[in-house]
Amino acid sequence: MPGTDSILRFCRALLVDDKVSMENFSKAAALYCKDYDLAKVVPATDIPDGSPRSMGMNSPKGPVKPSTVHKELIIYEDPDITEYGEPIRQGYKIGDVGKADSLSYPKKGKEYTEAELNEIEIIQAMSFYYFGRIRLEETIQKSAMTQYLTGLPNSGGYMARVSEIFNSGNIGNYDAYYINVKGFGMVSKKFGFRQGDEMIRQFAHAIAGFVSEDEIVAHLGGDNFVALVKKAHYAAFVAMLSEVTVHAVQGDKTVDVKLGTTIGVWHIDKDMRELSELISLPAIALNAAKNVLHQPICHVSDELLYQVSEQKRVLERFPAAIRNREFVLFYQPKVDSKTNMLAGAEALVRWQGSDEIIPPGAFIPILEREGAIRALDLYVLEQACMDIRKWIDMGLEPVQVSVNISRKDLDDRTLPFQICDMIDRYKLDHNLIQIEITETTDETEHGIMADFLSKLYDMGISTAIDDFGSGYSSLSTLRNFKISTLKIDRSFINNDTFSKNDEIILSDIIHMAGMLGVEVITEGVERPDQLEFMQKVGCNLIQGFLYDRPLPTDVFTERLKDKVYNISF
Ligand code: C2E
Ligand code: MG
Ligand code: MG
């Protein structure tokens, strides 16, 4: 019968395992209804619905005020009863303005004693506060799953929602995206951080508004977003992401700012191994789009994943490979084709792996991208200096050896002095080393490169522009750089027939270079007709397979003994 025992039983049922849960709550409410002949219990009315969608997220029409959406929570209802009496009602204040009622509906015709009504009021009060705890826990959990700035799910919220889709077995219908707002650092700097935040908020609303209820957009923070969008919406979503217009205030005007994006996409296939791949794989594609391909979009593919794993392997093995001196130098002769005499050599690095020789194309671009190339370039320079010193000590007359320096090394302004110190350490004439560097079109790099080359040049170290003509070389290369040598790229001679235009351009460049005291060499000469063409336009210095491939040190040492090539073409 109702009484203190009922109240205690209710309390015990609520606090099983000290766990706040809806399940415990409805079990306790069922006991209480049975004891007091109640038909329905509503612990709180007028509850704002705090779900993200009602808070304006994912809503194309903009934010909906939270307080405009309400629901009534029924914690227990007797399914057999359709008619009930007047509820026993208790009002509670929530904060300064809110209010809610707690209601218990008796079975029709049920009368209560004064004592029973008091007991019901106690239980109602407890229910109200218990329900408050549940809401509080929900809110804490929701905010832990939400990005504070935009209100979109954060990575935790994203994973929680994608796992629902994964568990439903429909994940194969979706594409997973990683989205980065292009150049947002600059935009934010221009308009200030507060407006930057506001623009990110607008951007978030624009993309969240675009997707439908069963798709997800999440904000990882900063200018990074992820999304799970139906395959059928791929084209429309990508088109939408190509330009999102947001607004900013500049002075007293509101201006449109068009934000572009870089996107990594994974067309999800059955081979998904773990849920985290929904973020990590598109992130790999985004990184490739941004840093390797320099394109707005990249898709996850087997080839891309292979390249990334290769890259990881190279970077992991690199420090030990340097320590163990696994990098070896090959020397490719440069020949004066008029006299057939050895005139110099280029040091070209190879990675002597345990069972194979790895060509530079397989590791140099990776080391350059990851900022690790300087260690290798200095290693090659030192090995070249050591080899020249050895040749001199053997009584051989060495030739000038050129060493490639990556443009990525130039951030270090002390590099010319390090190069000079290295040459001095092996007591070599400065002119025995030439530094080759490829030309650049980048304005800032141009200045840094001019400074680098002029420092070397002034210290008597020979300088060369590599692959001249492969990019957008301009006369400014000849005008602004202090260089000893221009190395004409093989693309000029890489054809079956030679173009009249190339002939005119090359003759002029070679003539101009000659007048400026700059030596010219052509690389990649493989055939006698190519040699003939280069001689015709005035270039006699040749590096190419026609004379020699890059040679191991011992073979090249033999070339140094007898510098003459006894061949005629
Ligand atoms: P590069 O400096 O332009 O070197 C010339 C490349 O052309 C070499 O390839 C050479 O073997 C190749 N070559 C020379 N003659 C011929 C020919 O007649 N026909 C053909 N098909 N190819 C020819 P390699 O050794 O594979 O080097 C490729 C690139 O790797 C180099 O281009 C250079 O940019 C880079 N590299 C090599 N060693 C180093 C290094 O120590 N440091 C840096 N930063 N880069 C290096
Ligand atoms: Mg080179
Ligand atoms: Mg070259």
Is 155-300 a domain of CATH 3.30.70.3270?
Answer: no
Whose CA is closest to atom 40 on ligand 1? 404
Whose CA is closest to atom 2 on ligand 1? 404
Collapse the DSSP code of 223 into the 3-class scheme (helix H, G, I; strand E, B; otherwise coil) and give the result: coil
* H-only helix segments in 70-218: 114-144, 155-167, 184-191, 193-210
Extents of the domains making up the chain: 4-144, 155-300, 311-561
* 436 Cα: distance to centroid of ligand 2 (angstroms): 6
**Cβ-contact 394, 337 below 8 angstroms:** no
Whose CA is closest to atom 8 on ligand 1? 348
DSSP state of 544: S
The radius of gyration computed from the CA coordinates of the chain, to the nearest angstrom, equals 37
Of 328, 326, 330, 327, give the one whose Cα is nearest residue 551.
330
Of 416, 427, 509, 507, give the one whose Cα is nearest residue 462.
416
* 378 Cα: distance to centroid of ligand 1 (angstroms): 17
Of 424, 371, 381, give the one whose Cα is nearest residue 401.
381
Rounded Cα gap, residues 255 and 152, in angstroms? 25
From the first residue on, what is the mean pLDDT of each consecutive set of 10 residues in the chain (569 residues)? 84 80 87 89 69 36 36 79 88 80 90 92 89 84 89 95 92 96 93 94 96 96 97 97 95 94 93 89 96 94 93 94 97 97 98 91 93 96 98 98 96 96 98 94 86 96 93 78 94 89 92 95 96 96 97 98 90
pLDDT given for residue 211 in this prediction: 96
* 270 Cα: distance to centroid of ligand 3 (angstroms): 44
pLDDT given for residue 354 in this prediction: 83
pLDDT tens digits along 156-183: 999 999 999 999 989 999 999 999 999 9
**Cβ-contact 218, 300 below 8 angstroms:** no
* 489 Cα: distance to centroid of ligand 3 (angstroms): 6
* Number of continuous H segments (helices) and E segments (strands) in the chain: 17, 23
Rounded Cα gap, residues 465 and 384, in angstroms? 19
* Strands (DSSP E) found in 383-540: 400-404, 433-438, 462-468, 485-488, 519-523
For residue 15, give both structure tokens.
Answer: 């606090």
344 CB neighbour count, 10 Å cutoff: 23
**Relative orientation angle of helices 553-561 and 373-393, to the nearest 10 degrees:** 40
Looking at the CA of residue 368, tell me the nearest atom of ligand 1.
Answer: 44
**Cβ-contact 446, 440 below 8 angstroms:** yes
Rounded Cα gap, residues 529 and 498, in angstroms? 10
* DSSP codes of every residue in 326-353: -EEEEEEEEEETTTTEEEEEEEEEEEE-
Q: Which residues contact 9 (CB under 8 A, 6 or more apart)?
A: 31, 35
Rounded Cα gap, residues 165 and 161, in angstroms? 7
Collapse the DSSP code of 441 into the 3-class scheme (helix H, G, I; strand E, B; otherwise coil) and give the result: coil
Q: Is 545 in the pocket of ligand 1 (CB under 6 A)?
A: yes
**Relative orientation angle of helices 302-323 and 373-393, to the nearest 10 degrees:** 50
**Cβ-contact 486, 520 below 8 angstroms:** yes
Collapse the DSSP code of 58 into the 3-class scheme (helix H, G, I; strand E, B; otherwise coil) and give the result: coil
HEC states along 279-305? HHHHHHHHHHHHHHHCCCEEECCHHHH
* 404 Cα: distance to centroid of ligand 2 (angstroms): 5
Distances in Å between the Cα of 481 and the Cα atoms of 460, 507, 510 are: 15, 20, 16
CATH H superfamily, domain 311-561: EAL domain (3.20.20.450)
pLDDT given for residue 65 in this prediction: 34
Whose CA is closest to atom 19 on ligand 1? 524
Collapse the DSSP code of 105 into the 3-class scheme (helix H, G, I; strand E, B; otherwise coil) and give the result: strand
* 466 Cα: distance to centroid of ligand 2 (angstroms): 5
Ligand minimally distant from the alpha carbon of residue 382:
1
Collapse the DSSP code of 261 into the 3-class scheme (helix H, G, I; strand E, B; otherwise coil) and give the result: strand
Of 302, 174, 298, give the one whose Cα is nearest residue 234.
174
Of 290, 274, 279, 139, give the one whose Cα is nearest residue 220.
279
Q: Is 548 in the pocket of ligand 1 (CB under 6 A)?
A: no
**Cβ-contact 361, 388 below 8 angstroms:** no
Best mutation site among 523, 529, 542 for ligand 1 pocket (most ligand atoms within 8 Å of CB): 523
pLDDT given for residue 1 in this prediction: 62
Q: Is 359 in the pocket of ligand 1 (CB under 6 A)?
A: yes
Distances in Å between the Cα of 478 and the Cα atoms of 409, 442, 495 are: 22, 16, 26
pLDDT given for residue 66 in this prediction: 35
Rounded Cα gap, residues 431 and 147, in angstroms? 60
For residue 469, give both structure tokens.
Answer: 């003509």
Rounded Cα gap, residues 331 and 334, in angstroms? 9
* DSSP codes of every residue in 481-503: ---SEEEE-GGGT-SSS--HHHH
